[in-house]
Amino acid sequence: MTTAFVPLFDGSHYECWSLKMKTFLKTMDLWDVVETGTQQEPLRESSWSSNEFNGEYYTSSADGYYSAYWKQYMEAKDVNALYLIQTALSHEILPWIAFATSSKEAWEILLVKSLGGPIFQARKLSDLKKEYMDIKMMDSETIHEFTGKLMELVFRMKSCGWKVEDKELVKKIISSLPSKFDKVLVDIAETLSISVLIDCLLVHEYNIMRQVQEYSLEESVAESVDVEESFQEEAEILYSLNEITQCQVISMERQGEVSSVVQQNQKMLMQLQKQMVALMQHTL
């Protein structure tokens, strides 16, 4: 019997460890003795002889051997199961079951030490049910995040003894969704399994994300077109201002040339006037 893959329990996450350990014991055909203890031998129709004496049936001598074999068989299973449970515990947790004489007793001690007894579990389950009733999917959450959180809560509730059918969980998922999922298989959703429902919700969520991405892309393209048009308008305005400025410069340059010519002409007129005055004085 190999123990290489026995899951180790260090005192934390008992629910996860007990689930894996239970499955492991089932693979070794030992879970029955942990769950119910060493069972009485099953009744066999052939165990009674066909002879009757004084109104009583007598068993054959083979039945005594069978009973002894059955007892030895169940005790061997119990010892093997107890050993595997001990092997699965860390050195800090092993003392919890040091005085357990059967695998069933050891398993129950670990359960009570980790999750509490029936009274405490009932009290804890009451709080978990309130949390279960109030849980809703937020708009910022994804289907993966919400269903993971919900199933983790359900797992803890089941560890406290809660019994629930998949139909109830399907209804809870549907009633907890935000408005963007209102149109998703509303009429037939309650007939789906949890896995199929989650798959459909993931498809719908993906389609919503694609639509949002496409819309954002269209808006980005529209904004880039508006920016480009704005740049073109600004460029045209700047070009017009540049032309106006150049015209003003040319006009100012021409005005400067005219002013220079006028000044030259004025100088020439003044010289001519001086010459005429000088001629008149010489004549007189």
Looking at residue 50, what is its pLDDT? 44
d(CA 34, CA 31): 5
Q: How far is Cα of residue 220 from the mean position of the Cα atoms in its chain?
A: 29
- Give Cα 180 to chain centroid, integer Å: 18
Q: Are the C-beta atoms of residues 109 and 116 closer than 8 Å to each other?
A: no
pLDDT on residue 151 = 93
Q: What is the pLDDT of residue 54?
A: 47
63 to 60, 73, 74, 176, 228: CA distances (angstroms): 6, 15, 16, 60, 99
- Please give the model's pTM, rounded to 2 decimal places: 0.60
CB neighbours (10 Å) of residue 128? Answer: 19
First-to-final CA distance of the chain: 155
Burial class of residue 261, CB neighbours in 10 A (0-12, 13-18, 19+): exposed
What is the chain's pLDDT, residue by residue, as a tens digit (284 residues)? 444 589 999 999 999 999 999 999 999 999 999 999 987 666 555 444 444 444 444 455 566 667 888 888 999 999 999 999 999 999 999 999 999 999 999 999 999 999 888 899 899 999 999 999 999 999 889 999 999 999 999 999 998 889 888 888 988 988 898 887 765 555 566 678 888 888 888 888 888 888 777 776 666 555 555 555 655 665 565 556 556 556 655 655 565 654 665 566 566 656 655 655 565 565 55
CA distance 195 to 12: 29
Q: Where are the domains of the chain?
A: 14-41+59-115, 118-183
